[in-house]
Structure formats: structure tokens, C-alpha cells
Amino acid sequence: MNSKPHRNNSDFQLKYFLAGSCKTADGAWCLLYDQKIDREQVYKVTEAQKIKRDIKRIKTERLLESDDILEQMQGKADLIELDASEYGFDMNREACRQEVETLIKLMEELEPHRKYGHLPVLEASEAVQEEEWLLELKERCENFMITQGSIPHDHFHTMRCHPQFKSALAPFIATLYNKVSQTASIEDSLKFISQTTYLPQLEAPQ
């Protein structure tokens, strides 16, 4: 199900598929920050759009008062268009406001768990890259080994580019391969990877 009327992302998607796809609190915070500034900009733009809609309505009402039949007809057409889009405009604007509110709540919940919260946002985003990618690549290893029993060459190439490939990724892959190949069933394999958790448990957005 991907129904999210008037929204860019639902609260559920923000929490579980966006923040939840990250492997560190800082990574999740930075991702949500990116979403927040985008949605805040959209909301501010709607303020300007609302003023423009009010201007258009005033101009339309003036056309209706014209003695020219064509201007009256144009005014009626413009008014129909304005009225038809009013509900959608208001709902989109409100949904955007709610989305920003949820993003702020989730970021606040992550804040106490951040390692780089003392840094400016641009520096914090850079500081978390190596750890976030290391954990992301480990998760890809798990997913590939569980679903198809091997790691595709292009993903393996990416893993080899990581500075901690020899010290962290290679040992992890070897251990994972041994654990998965020795398990008697898919259930046992899933139990093994389910032990890996990366993010603090976030409260559900209210």
C-alpha cells in the first residue's frame, strides 16, 4: 500500500522506510533534515501561492462586473477553476505542514542518540558517512546471502572500495557466509540477521 493523499511521505514511510533505512542516528537525522528543509520550502511557497490565488479571485470578481460579455464569461471560467482547485490546495498545504511537524518530532527523538550532534549539519553529514556506509554494506551482505546466497559483483566492488573492507567488511562477510551456510533452515538464517539492530526505537509519530 502506498496511499499518501496530499503528502510527499506518510508518517509511516518517514519513520520506517526513510529513517528506518539508515543505520545510525546521525544518518537518519541528516536524511530527515533533508526532507524537512524541502517540505518547509514547499510550505513557504504555498503562502505566496495563496496570495496569488487571492489576487486572481479579486481580478475574477472584477471581470464578472464588466459590461463585456466575453470578460464576464472569462471571469466565470476562472472562478470555476479557482473553486475546483481550492480543496486540493488547502489539503496539500495542511498535509505539508503536518509532514514538517512529524519530521521535527522524529529528529528530536533521534537527537539524544547522535554521535555528531555537536557539529554543524554539513560537517555532521560528512562525519557519519563512513560508519553509515559500513553498516549499509553489511546489511546488503545479509540481504544478498539470505535471498540468493551470494553477493553480486557490482555490490562487492562497492564494498571493496570502503576503507574498512579488510578490517571490518571482509571478516563480516566470512562470518556471515559460515553462519548462513551452516544453518539448517531459512528460519535459522533470519534469526541470525534479526539480531542486528542499528537505530534506537523511535516513538510512533502522534
Q: What is the pLDDT of residues 96-148, one digit of tens each?
A: 999 999 999 999 999 999 999 999 999 999 999 999 999 999 999 999 988 88
Question: Could you tell me if 88 and 37 lie in one domain?
Answer: yes
C-alpha cell at 200: 534506537
Question: Could you tell me if 24 and 106 lie in one domain?
Answer: yes
Please identify, among 82, 117, 152, the residue that sits at the C-terminal boundary of a domain: 117
pLDDT attached to residue 204: 47
More confident residue, 53 or 179: 53
Question: Could you tell me if 17 and 83 lie in one domain?
Answer: yes
pLDDT at 26 over 70: yes
Please check whether residue 49 lies inside any domain of the structure. yes
Question: Could you tell me if 83 and 175 lie in one domain?
Answer: no
Please identify, among 96, 117, 138, the residue that sits at the C-terminal boundary of a domain: 117
Band of pLDDT at residue 184, cut at 50, 70 and 90 = low
Cβ 44 vs Cβ 100: under 8 Å: no
Question: Could you tell me if 64 and 133 lie in one domain?
Answer: no
Question: Could you tell me if 113 and 132 lie in one domain?
Answer: no
Please identify, among 117, 143, 170, the residue that sits at the C-terminal boundary of a domain: 117
Percent of the chain with pLDDT over 90: 79
Please check whether residue 76 lies inside any domain of the structure. yes
Question: Could you tell me if 69 and 152 lie in one domain?
Answer: no
pLDDT at 196 over 70: no
pLDDT attached to residue 4: 79
Question: Could you tell me if 95 and 161 lie in one domain?
Answer: no
Model pLDDT for residues 40-95, shown as the tens digit of each residue: 999 999 999 999 999 999 999 999 999 999 999 999 999 999 999 999 999 999 99
Please check whether residue 69 lies inside any domain of the structure. yes
pLDDT attached to residue 201: 59
pTM of the model: 0.86
pLDDT attached to residue 198: 56
Please check whether residue 199 lies inside any domain of the structure. no
Please check whether residue 204 lies inside any domain of the structure. no
Question: Could you tell me if 102 and 165 lie in one domain?
Answer: no
pLDDT attached to residue 190: 77
Please check whether residue 6 lies inside any domain of the structure. no
Question: Could you tell me if 133 and 106 lie in one domain?
Answer: no
pLDDT attached to residue 180: 82
pLDDT attached to residue 185: 77
Nearest to residue 128, comparing CAs of 202, 48, 199? Answer: 199
Q: How many domains does the chain have?
A: 2
DSSP state of 119: S
pLDDT attached to residue 133: 96
Tell me how crowded residue 116 is: count the other CB atoms within 10 A of its CB.
20
Amino acid at 148: Q
Question: Could you tell me if 56 and 148 lie in one domain?
Answer: no
Tell me how crowded residue 99 is: count the other CB atoms within 10 A of its CB.
26
Report how far apart, in Å, the C-alpha atoms of 128 and of each of 46, 115, 162, 175, 191 are.
34, 8, 14, 25, 28
Please check whether residue 147 lies inside any domain of the structure. yes
Q: Cell match 471560467: residue?
A: 77
Nearest to residue 202, comparing CAs of 11, 71, 47? Answer: 11
C-alpha cell at 135: 553498516
Residues spanned by the domain of 28: 11-117
